[in-house]
Amino acid sequence: MSSDAATLLEYDVGLVDDLPVIVTPGAPVARAGSYRLAADASSDRPGARIVVTLDVGGVVGARSGELLLGFDPTLVRPVSATGSGTNRAPLIADSEGEGQYAVAFASARALTGRDASLAVAFEVATDTRRAVESAIRVRGLRLNGAKVDPGFEYAFQVRPYEFRLYANYPNPFNPETWIPFELAEDADATIRIYGMAGRLVRTLELGARAMGEYTSRADAAYWDGANSYGERVASGVYVYELTAGEDRSLRRMVVRK
């Protein structure tokens, strides 16, 4: 039990002179508002990180606790359990079973402020190929040895990646633009730009790209508005094509000077 761990820690740092044979649990946690459970996801896509946070800052004299979380092991996996990282943060131990993750924490002194927070991180499977709904549930919670029933559940959705070519931005543009896209699987990606008569203007070899979204300026395809000879193209409508493996998609864009 983590209450026993708290007493051991007190003994180690000299706050108590003797170890009792039986450890008396801490004061019962009666007020539902004295602790807080919350969760948040970085996105609704494969590979996203979901963080469940337990804050016991409102529990008077909080020194220990045990948190048991249930989840779908085919969809998410626990990756870490951490405190605030300060010198007075609690000692943390964890254990993983099939679809369950248990975390125990203990401190020799009462936890307050930033030290009273525990964050448990999960990662959504990167190979998720279908839209799915699931949840991470609190199956057990003890604070200072007292059992608590928070009834907490964090429901979430996962949208798989698809092969998709998005509108370039800015559009119309002069002299440069970014072309965002999304890949449903790992592939060598290429963007070809054509004039309206079908003549190839420029080829952008993007190389091997992993499944995922490429929408920011840092990772989307970039075109400087020049043809294969480095010459600026004339104003007008152009067609751009994304190919990756067996997939291809076309859109239009406008160069305006």
One domain for residues 128 and 24: yes
Chain segment 175-216, per-residue pLDDT in tens: 999 999 999 999 999 999 999 999 999 999 999 999 999 999
- Residue 227's Cβ-side half-sphere holds a number of Cα atoms within 13 Å equal to 12
Q: What is the pLDDT of residue 34?
A: 82
Q: What are phi and psi of 77, to 5 degrees?
A: -140, 145
Q: Read off the pTM.
A: 0.77
Query: Are 27 and 151 members of one domain?
Result: yes
CATH of the domain at 102: 2.60.40.680
Indicate whether 150 and 200 sit together in one domain: no
Taking only the tens place, the pLDDT of each residue in 32-91 is 458 899 999 999 999 999 999 999 888 888 888 899 999 999 999 999 998 865 555 566
Q: Are residues 95 and 183 in the same domain?
A: no
Asked which of 158, 193, 227 is the last residue of a domain, the reply is: 158
Q: Which residues are 84's β-sheet partners?
A: none
> Could you tell me if 47 and 133 lie in one domain?
yes
140-165 per-position pLDDT tens digit = 999 988 888 889 999 999 999 999 99
Asked which of 28-32, 122-126, 128-132 is least confident by mean pLDDT, the reply is: 28-32
Domain that holds residue 181: 164-255
Residue identified by tokens 């626990």 is 78
pLDDT score, position 111: 80
Asked whether residue 237 falls in the same domain as residue 122, the answer is: no
Domain at 222, CATH number: 2.60.40.4070
Residues 73 and 186 grouped into a single domain: no
